Amino acid sequence: MDAIHLEGLSFFAFHGLYEEEAKLGQRFVVDLTCWADLTAASMSDQYEDTICYGTLAKTVEQVVTQTRFNLIERLAGAVCEAVLEQDLRIARVRVRVSKPSAPVPVHAGSFSVEITRDRINNPSSAPLPGMRQLTSD
């Protein structure tokens, strides 16, 4: 299976358990891998045969910045759901959400979670409340 990678997508958002996180916000970094059959695109060199990277990035941005979650585990799961909904050609998605400034009492580079979902496990991925289908750039 072929893969498309979007790495280091950075967003300012307000996720977290603590009141300070909801008020002040912080940076979140998202890495996304989507598995799909890219044979047609690799042979045709035609835009319509591939999955739009810009649309994928906008889908991630919308989930990260337009909805608030207590846990980055739920944020990563919501990104998976939205990406699977965005393009039916995507068979599997992996999302890593990093929280570089987590409020913990030890010095750390960042904390992250990684979630992988297969379309077979989410055959009718429903959009999140308030989500809309994005169009290609």
Which of these is catalytic: 52, 99, 115, 125? 99
| HSE toward the beta carbon, residue 93, CA cutoff 13 A | 29
Does the annotation mark 99 as catalytic? yes
Rounded to whole angstroms, how far apart are CA atoms 5 and 93?
10
Rounded to whole angstroms, how far apart are CA atoms 61 and 41?
25
Phi, psi torsion values for 66, nearest 5 degrees: -105, -5
Rounded to whole angstroms, how far apart are CA atoms 31 and 94?
8
| Cα 125-131-137 angle, rounded to 5 deg | 100
Rounded to whole angstroms, how far apart are CA atoms 70 and 32?
21
Catalytic residues: 99
